[in-house]
Amino acid sequence: MEEIYQNSYFEDLLTKYEKLVFSICYRMTNNYFDAQDLTQETFISVYKVMESFDEKNEKAYITRVATNKCLDHLKRAERRTMPSEDEELERGSPPVDSAEKQVMEIVVMEQLEKCCNRLKEPYKTVAYEYFYKGKTAKEIAEHINANVHTVQTQIRRVRKVLRTQWDKEELR
């Protein structure tokens, strides 16, 4: 009889808190599928301790379990992060002789210049200062008399636009 009560109580908890737990997991991971898995893991953990479960603080307990599951997941994910494209290229590319490397750099810089010239101001200036002159966001901000955070935002936007333009150029 007690097991039937526990199963019924667990079903009530699941119905009552499933959306809350999922939303916590989704907000913490920013990934729908991870949030689904973590929601399931949360309720499995709750089910395992049903006999000693404190019904008075059920919401606090369940949300704490969900939060801990997400934190554990994020820590594991951080440890197994993928290397960046640059790191992969550095490790995996065969050695290139200096003449070929110089030609490749020239071609890349020409294509980058082509993409930058299509930009509108102030992005064109920011891109030129950042990519060609190698200036930092702070140096660019001082040069164009702008806020550093504004320049940082512009650099992020320029990168995104250039990446899109670059991909289109390579398809041609």
91-137: per-residue pLDDT in tens? 555 555 566 666 666 777 777 777 777 888 888 888 888 877 778 88
Identify whether 84 is part of a domain: no
Burial of 130 (0-12, 13-18, 19+ CB in 10 A): buried
Domain count, the chain: 2
Looking at the whole model, is its pTM more than 0.95?
Answer: no
Identify whether 92 is part of a domain: no
Domain residues for the domain of 58 are 2-79
Dmax (CA) for the chain in angstroms is: 81
155 and 109 inside one domain: yes
51-76: per-residue pLDDT in tens? 777 777 888 889 989 999 988 888 88
51 and 117 inside one domain: no
